[in-house]
Structure 1
Amino acid sequence: MSRLSWRPGDVRLSVAIMHHPVRGDAADRIVEACRPLVARVVTDPAPNAVRSPLRTAKVAWAAIAEGATHHLVLQDDARVADGFADLVAEAIAGRPRHGIALYTDWISPQNSYLSRLAAVAGSPWAPLSPMEWTPALAFLLPAGTAAELASYLAPIPDEVTDDDQMMARFCRERSVPLLATVPHLVDNRGMPTLISGHGGRHHATVWAAPAVPPAGHWDVDPRIDEALAARSQYRRHDEYVVQVKDSRCSIRLLRPRTGEPGGNEFCWYWDDWCDLIGVGGREVTAGLAACLDTLDHRPPPRVATEIWAAGYLLGLDAAQVRRGLSAPLAVATPGAIRAAVSSWVHAGLAAPLDAADRAALIELGSAAVALGLRRRRPDPLVAAGVPAGAHGEDIPHDNPYHHN
C-alpha cells in the first residue's frame, strides 16, 4: 500500500503505557485521554529492583495487540493533546512506514533544534538525528518493526537501563527512518524523574496545545523530509545545530568522523564561530536595536542578544532549507515560530525571569526568526567547491551498551 493510499481509518494502533507503581494513577489518566484507543498499562515487572526503563520497555514493545498495523509506547509521565486518537491516526497515515516520535525534549542536544527547524521551515515532519537517543516518552513503529525491536531489546541486560539509547541503536542498524510530528502531540507532564542523573525540567519542544493541527496537516510531499534530513545525517562537515543553554547561544558543528557521541555538547559561542556557517556576527545583530525599540518592555540586554542570535540563525537555516526544496512547503505560521522560540526561552535561561521579560524575549526571538527567514546566505562548503555529501557516510560506531 503506497503512502498516499493510506487513510486514518486504515490505521489500527496498539498502545502500551510503561508504568511504575510509585507514579500512582498516572497511567490510568493516560488511558482515559487516549480513548477510543485501547491503551494497555504495562507495569515494571520488578518495581522493587534497581530502576530500569529498559526492563519495562522490553515488555511494552512486545505488548502489540493482535491485528495492529502500528504500535505506540508511552511513558506514564506523558500527557497527550486533545483529540489524540484522531490526530495520531492522521499522522501515521501520512508516514506509515516510519518510526514516529510524538515528542522531542526541549533541551535535547540535536532533536530539539531539528524540531524547531522543521516548525520554522513550515514542515509537519522533523527528521531526527541518527545518533541522538530516541525520544522514548512517546514513540511508535509499524507493528512488524515494533516486534523486531522487542526481540532486539530482550537479551540486553536490564542494568543498561537506557531504553532510548538501545532504541536508537536498533533504528540505526535497521535504517529505520525517524521523524517527529510538528507540532508534537505529546508533552511531558513535568513529574520528577525516576532515574538518577536525568533531572531538570522536561517538556515538548513544539507543543500542539492549545491549537491542534488541521485536517491534511501531515500529508505533504516526502521530499520535504529529505531536504530537512540532510541537515543532521553526519555526512557533511557543515552540519550544525544551534542551542540556548544557561542564557547563552551556541553553535555545535556535528563533526563527522570524530566519533563524538550524539549527546556530547561540545559547542562554540555563536559570535566566535558563526562565520563557519556562512554569516557574520554583525549581520546577525544588525536588526536587534531596532526591534528592541518596538517592544513595550525591554528584557535584560545580554539575554536579549542571545535569544535574538538564536532566532536569527534558526530563521536563516530554515530559509536555506526552503530554498533547496523541489516541492512546495507552506509558510510557517506565527504560532509555530512562537512555539519554537518559546521553548528556548523557558528552557534555556540560567536564571528565572519574570513573565514580562519572558514574553518580551519570545517576541524578540520570533522577530529575529522572521528576519532570518527573509535573508539569504551562501552554503559555505558549496562556495568552497565541496559538493553536498562529499564526505560520505560518516556515522561513528558506538559501544552497544555504553551511555555517554
Structure 2
Amino acid sequence: MIKVGVSIMYHPRRADRIPPLVRACAPLDAVPVRDPDPGGAPSPLRTAKRAWAQIQDGVTHHMVLQDDIALAPGFAEQVSEAVARHPEDGVSFYSHWNSPQNSYLVRRAAVAGASYAPLSLTEWTPCQGFVLPVDRARDLAAYLAEIPDDVQDDDEMVVIFCRKQGIPVVATVPHLVDHGVDETIVGHQGELRATVFAPGERTPTAHWTGRTAADPGPYTVELLESRCGIRMVDRDPVEHKFAWHWYDACSLVGVDPRAVLDAAAPHIGGLPDALVPAATEVWAAGHLLGADAAGHPPVPPGGGPFTRHAIGSWVDSGLAGPDRALLGRTGRDVLVALGVAAVRHGLAHPGGRDGR
C-alpha cells in the first residue's frame, strides 16, 4: 500500500503560507522544514537537505514541496494515484513552463493524451513538488548532505543524482502543482508557472492509470520571445541561450517549412499586420509539436484533453512583452486557438503536406 510522507521546505518570510499548504495536503501528513539560516546567502539546497532527510516512519515514499506553490484540487488523492502508477520512479508534479527540455516533453505528452511525461535527465529536475521511493529519498538526502550550501540550486543536484542512480523521472500531466507569482528567494527572473495546470478542475481518478508518453527524442521545440526554435538535444547544451530558428532547422526533423507556412496562411490572413509575425511563430510551434506527437501513437483525434492548456501556457510564456501588450485577452485567446489548430494540422500532416 502506498503511503506518502511530506516535507514542506520554507523560508520564515513565507511562514504564513505553511498552514494553508499543510491543510491542502491533508490527509497526507505534511511537516514544515524551516530554512536553518534564513539570514544567510539564499540557498534552496540548504533547506532541501533537511527536507529530504525529514522522513516519517512507516512511509513508502517521501515528497518534498516548496513554500511558494499552489496545489490542484484533490491533491493528496491524486498524488497517491500517480505514485501507485510509478512506484519505483521519481515523480514530479510540476515543470517550468518555458524550460528548454522538460516543458516541451510535458506539452508533447499532453497532445498525445498521456498521463505522464518522461523528463530529461540532463535538464534540472523540477523540485517544487517531487516524490521518491523512501529508500531513494534517503539516498538523495545523503547525497545532498555532502554538497556545500553555496551550490544553491537543489534541482540541478537532483537531476545528477537521478541520472547517476538510473532513476527514471516522470511528470504528471496535468501538473498538480503550480508556482506562485512572488519573486523567488534566490531572485530568478521572469514569471515562473506550470506548463500544464488546470486550475479549478479536478482530474478524474481514472486518468492516473493512463500511459506514459514516449521517451525524449532528439529535439525539442520552444516558443520564446515570440520566436519558435528547435533545439537538437545532443548538440545544444541545456543552458545554451539560443535555439535554431524553426524554418532553418525543419529539415532536421522531417518537416517541410514551406508547407507549414502555406497551411498557416488561411488561419492568420485576417489578423492585424502587427500580429502576423508572432502568429506565424505560434503556428509553427504548434505544427511541430503535433507532428512530433503523431510519431508516437496512440494519439486521440485532435490531441489529448489538456492540449489547450499546453498551448495556452506556451502563448502566455512564449510571447515577447510588446506582443503580449498588443494582444490583450481577446487576442491571446485567438492565438491559443491558432496554436491548437496548428497542433491538429501537425497531427494530421506531420511532414507539412497531405500524404507526407
- For 1:24 and 1:70, the matched residues in 2 are separated by 25
- For 2:134 and 2:171, the matched residues in 1 are separated by 18
Aligned to 2:21: 30
Distance 1:185 1:200, change over 3 A: same
Aligned to 1:79: 70
What fraction of aligned residue pairs are identical, expressed as a percent?
46
The answer to whether the Cα contact below 8 Å between 2:66 and 2:129 also exists between their aligned partners in 1 is: yes
Q: Among residues 266, 273, 278, which one is paired with 1:303 in the alignment?
A: 278
Q: What runs of 5+ residues in structure 1 fail to find an aligned partner?
A: 1-9, 232-238, 323-327, 379-404
Distance 1:125 1:332, change over 3 A: farther
The answer to whether the Cα contact below 8 Å between 2:195 and 2:313 also exists between their aligned partners in 1 is: yes
- How far residue 215 of structure 1 moved from its aligned partner, in angstroms, is 2.2
Residues 286-342 of structure 1: CA deviation (Å, up to 9, x unaligned): 2212223688x99811111010000000000000122xxxxx565565641111110
* Matching of residues 84-103 of structure 1 within 5 Å: 84-103=75-94
- How far residue 45 of structure 1 moved from its aligned partner, in angstroms, is 0.6
Aligned to 1:350: 320
Distance 1:299 1:23, change over 3 A: farther
Residue 228 of structure 2 aligns to a residue in which SS?
strand
Residue 335 of structure 2 aligns to a residue in which SS?
helix
- How far residue 284 of structure 1 moved from its aligned partner, in angstroms, is 1.3
Residues 128-182 of structure 1: CA deviation (Å, up to 9, x unaligned): 1110001011111011100100000001100111111111110010010010000
- How far residue 377 of structure 1 moved from its aligned partner, in angstroms, is 3.7
Residue 287 of structure 1 aligns to a residue in which SS?
helix
Aligned to 1:244: 223
2:109 maps to amino acid: A
The answer to whether the Cα contact below 8 Å between 1:245 and 1:349 also exists between their aligned partners in 2 is: yes
Q: Among residues 186, 205, 218, which one is paired with 2:195 in the alignment?
A: 205
Q: How many residues align?
A: 348
Q: Among residues 182, 194, 204, which one is paired with 2:185 in the alignment?
A: 194
Q: What runs of 5+ residues in structure 2 fail to find an aligned partner?
A: none
Aligned to 2:122: 131
- For 2:131 and 2:37, the matched residues in 1 are separated by 24
Aligned to 1:321: 296
The answer to whether the Cα contact below 8 Å between 1:52 and 1:162 also exists between their aligned partners in 2 is: yes
- For 2:251 and 2:65, the matched residues in 1 are separated by 41
Do residues 183 (structure 1) and 174 (structure 2) align?
yes
Aligned to 1:229: 215
Distance 1:299 1:311, change over 3 A: farther
Do residues 374 (structure 1) and 348 (structure 2) align?
yes
Residue 22 of structure 2 aligns to a residue in which SS?
helix
Residues 249-277 of structure 1: CA deviation (Å, up to 9, x unaligned): 11111125xxx643323311111111111
- How far residue 59 of structure 1 moved from its aligned partner, in angstroms, is 0.3
- How far residue 61 of structure 1 moved from its aligned partner, in angstroms, is 0.2
In the superposition, the TM-score normalised over structure 1's length comes to: 0.82
1:374 maps to amino acid: A
The answer to whether the Cα contact below 8 Å between 1:244 and 1:349 also exists between their aligned partners in 2 is: yes
* Matching of residues 134-153 of structure 1 within 5 Å: 134-153=125-144
- How far residue 213 of structure 1 moved from its aligned partner, in angstroms, is 2.0
The answer to whether the Cα contact below 8 Å between 2:119 and 2:216 also exists between their aligned partners in 1 is: no
- For 1:51 and 1:365, the matched residues in 2 are separated by 39
Please identify which structure carries the higher helix content. 2
Residues 103-143 of structure 1: CA deviation (Å, up to 9, x unaligned): 00001111000000000011111001110001011111011
- For 1:121 and 1:203, the matched residues in 2 are separated by 22
- For 1:268 and 1:347, the matched residues in 2 are separated by 19
The answer to whether the Cα contact below 8 Å between 1:121 and 1:331 also exists between their aligned partners in 2 is: no
Q: Among residues 226, 240, 244, which one is paired with 1:268 in the alignment?
A: 244
